[in-house]
Structure 1
Amino acid sequence: MDTETLAPRIDHTVLGPETTWRDTERVLDEAEEHGMNACIPPCYVEEAAAYAREVTLATVIGFPHGQNAPEAKCAEAVGADDDGADELDVVINIGRLKAGNGDNGNRTGASDNDPIEEELAGVVAATPLPVKVIIETARLSDGEKRRACEAAEAAGADMVKTSTGFAGGGATVDDVALMSEYLPVKASGGVGSYEEAIAMLEAGAERIGASSGVRILSGAPDA
């Protein structure tokens, strides 16, 4: 795959806890130069939207643990939209997912995914922006991954994303293949080379999330 085809499928990412505006500016410059998207912290979206008008901006909601109240996630989504974000990557509430019916707010007859689906549907409805749901595959069994993807699909999300990059594991070919049965997949976490990116795309990923976007592109045959 050549760089012109690959670049728009990469979300060049900077989301560390010590990320400064200077770090964000560098990622935006690289994204603009190479034709990539950028995934940045919510606190810099307004500045970034003014600084890099041609770059598609993704930002994160409920990051990195997903335990924010549903109302807080919706408010984050609205704020990001107002600030100029183009896409939202929202972290699923893993504790709620794992608890299933045992943690559905004492409602009888609710499905295992009910609280997760409701929360995600609220975020989807809060803005017109595309929503990617981060399910944090490293913390889930295959059955839980499927339930997370089912909830995202039922909620009207646009994509599912493997990882935050902060849970001790990232994207794998097997997880991408499983997730792609439900929705388009963003493979994120640990993808650091052209070969790794292509493996994810061949497994069914539509998008790559990586802090190594420039390095990935430098490995393309025409680079």
Structure 2
Amino acid sequence: MDESDVPARIEHTVLGPTTTAADVREVVETAADLGMRACVPPRYVPTAVGAAPDVEVVTVVGFPHGNHQPAVKATEAERAVADGASEVDMVAALGPLLAGEDGATEADVEVVVDAVEVPVKVIVEAPLLEEGELRRACAAARDAGADFVKTATGFSEGGATVADVEVMSEYLPVKASGGVGSWAEAQAMFEAGAERIGASSGDVIVREYLDSVGAPEDGADAGAE
């Protein structure tokens, strides 16, 4: 990978329950400096867009458990896009899938995909699933027209693993998220098939990457999309 590509594949993230507008501004300004995307809570999408208009802002829908009604998720996604979000990460409804109702999980995703014209990533909480369940969740997301599958919210048990990314990449492009805190960890995820990394340590990952290739930090700006 060259240094212009890696930063743009990192989504610098702040999604915690105590997140403030100041936190969001700091994250998107850092993302702008290093050529990253940013992932922020829905209420702060306008703040993020206003603070760093050139940064691609991602937000979450049905977060963190996915138990919202599908129509509510769709409305949340529509509002996020109207506020300036360029991508949406939605939490899949896993309860129906675990009950054998894969079609209900697929329909849950499809409602959001149909509601917006931006890429939709589907969070499947891979650490909570057996491999067969993970494959069914990824198939449901694929069949519903999603653009990516994402490993985890980071607010449940576990995070991204190489084994899960390898399975998930058989179905759709993968965003590895949850517990990825260094360039070495991010590189392992990329080598396993991930296309994106979501991390609250996105700045650490990019700086470590640039150090590893001997690139200046200001050279990362060329990687912003």
Give TM-score scaled by structure 2 length.
0.92
- Out of 111, 116, 121, the position equivalent to 2:105 is 116
Distance 2:97 2:10 in 1: 28
Amino acid at match of 2:164: D
Distance 2:89 2:75 in 1: 14
Distance 1:24 1:46 in 2: 10
Amino acid at match of 1:53: P
* Alpha carbons 2:45, 2:84 under 8 Å: kept: yes
Q: 1:25 — aligned with what?
A: 25
Q: CA RMSD in A?
A: 0.9
Q: 1:9 — aligned with what?
A: 9
Q: Secondary structure at 2:33's aligned position in 1?
A: helix
Per-residue Cα deviation, 1:151-182 (whole angstroms, up to 9, x for no partner): 00000000000000011200000000000000
Percent identical across equivalent pairs?
55
Shift of 1:5: 2.1
Q: 1:66 — aligned with what?
A: 66
Q: 1:48 — aligned with what?
A: 48
* Alpha carbons 2:159, 2:179 under 8 Å: kept: yes
Shift of 1:2: 4.4
Amino acid at match of 1:14: V
Q: 2:183 — aligned with what?
A: 194
Q: Which runs of 5+ in 2 are unaligned?
A: 216-225
Q: 1:104 — aligned with what?
A: none
Distance 1:128 1:182 in 2: 21
Q: More relative contact order in 1 or in 2 (CA 8 Å, sep 6+)?
A: 2
Which range moved further: 196-205 or 91-100? Answer: 91-100
Distance 1:48 1:171 in 2: 26
Per-residue Cα deviation, 1:56-103 (whole angstroms, up to 9, x for no partner): 010000000000011100110111011110000000112111111xxx
* Alpha carbons 2:24, 2:47 under 8 Å: kept: no
Q: Secondary structure at 2:175's aligned position in 1?
A: strand
Q: 1:166 — aligned with what?
A: 155
Runs of 4+ with deviation above 4 angstroms: none
Shift of 1:113: 1.2
Which range moved further: 48-57 or 35-44? Answer: 48-57
Give TM-score scaled by structure 1 length.
0.93
Q: Does 1:204 align with 2:188?
A: no
Q: Secondary structure at 2:143's aligned position in 1?
A: helix
Distance 2:109 2:207 in 1: 36
Distance 2:45 2:177 in 1: 20
Distance 1:217 1:9 in 2: 10
Distance 2:3 2:200 in 1: 17
1:27-176 to 2 correspondence within 5 Å? 27-100=27-100, 112-176=101-165
